[in-house]
């Protein structure tokens, strides 16, 4: 019971902050506004990942967590995606960079009923790992193209 009260107390301030949309420009992020509602964008992202060379590994939803506490917040989900062929190349370039896998896609419900898909670009995510050299930079550029294609398919642009 105490845990539920603590979680509710932690989520309540976040619930009001979640209603504001993400800024259009965040350093290292790609932000894609969509005309779709949140559930539709979730489905479209799943389909886009399924058509790509990445695999959906998991999803974490603050919305579902809040609902389990009897609270209602706007749609909010992080989807994790990666693939073994990229993991092997990443680890060959830099063991430390392995901490950053999987890549994440962030879905947020906007106040107008539409949803936004955003993510940190692979180049931004892997930039701190200089030990990965040119191989990690090339992999990041390749992954960034895949991220962009997934986003374009999901948001319909």
Can you give the pTM of this predicted structure? Answer: 0.85
Q: How far from 140 is each of 6, 90, 122, 126, 147, CA to CA, in Å?
A: 39, 9, 5, 7, 10
> What CATH class is the domain 2-18+26-155?
alpha beta
Confidence of residue 14 (pLDDT cuts 50, 70, 90): very low
| Interval 131-145 mean pLDDT | 98
Which tens digits make up the pLDDT trace of 84-93? Answer: 999 999 999 9
List the chain domain ranges.
Answer: 2-18+26-155
pLDDT at 16: 45
| Interval 74-83 mean pLDDT | 98
Exposed/middle/buried for 109, CB within 10 Å: 0-12, 13-18, 19+? buried
| Interval 116-145 mean pLDDT | 98
* DSSP annotation of 91: H
More confident site: 17 or 48? 48
pLDDT at 6: 41
Does residue 51 surpass a pLDDT of 50? Answer: yes
Q: How far from 76 is each of 14, 45, 86, 93, 142, CA to CA, in Å?
A: 11, 13, 27, 33, 27
Q: What is the mean pLDDT of the chain?
A: 90
d(C-alpha 46, C-alpha 91), whole Å: 26
State what percent of residues in the chain have pLDDT above 70: 86
d(C-alpha 5, C-alpha 84), whole Å: 40
The rounded radius of gyration (Å) of the Cα atoms in the chain is: 17
């Amino acid at each position: 019971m105490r845990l539920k009260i603590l979680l509710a107390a932690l989520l309540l301030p976040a619930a009001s902050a979640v209603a504001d949309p993400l800024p259009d420009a965040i350093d290292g992020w790609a932000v894609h506004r969509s005309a779709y509602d949140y559930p539709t964008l979730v489905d479209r992202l799943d389909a886009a990942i399924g058509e790509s060379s990445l695999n959906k590994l998991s999803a974490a939803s603050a919305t579902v967590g809040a609902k389990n506490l009897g609270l209602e917040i706007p749609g909010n989900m992080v989807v994790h995606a990666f693939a073994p062929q990229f993991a092997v190349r990443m680890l060959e370039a830099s063991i430390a960079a392995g901490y950053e896998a999987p890549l994440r896609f962030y879905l947020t419900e906007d106040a107008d009923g539409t949803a936004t898909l955003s993510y940190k670009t692979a180049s931004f995510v892997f930039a701190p790992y200089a030990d990965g050299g040119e191989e990690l930079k090339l992999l990041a550029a390749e992954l960034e193209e895949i991220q962009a294609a997934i986003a374009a398919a999901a948001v319909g642009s």
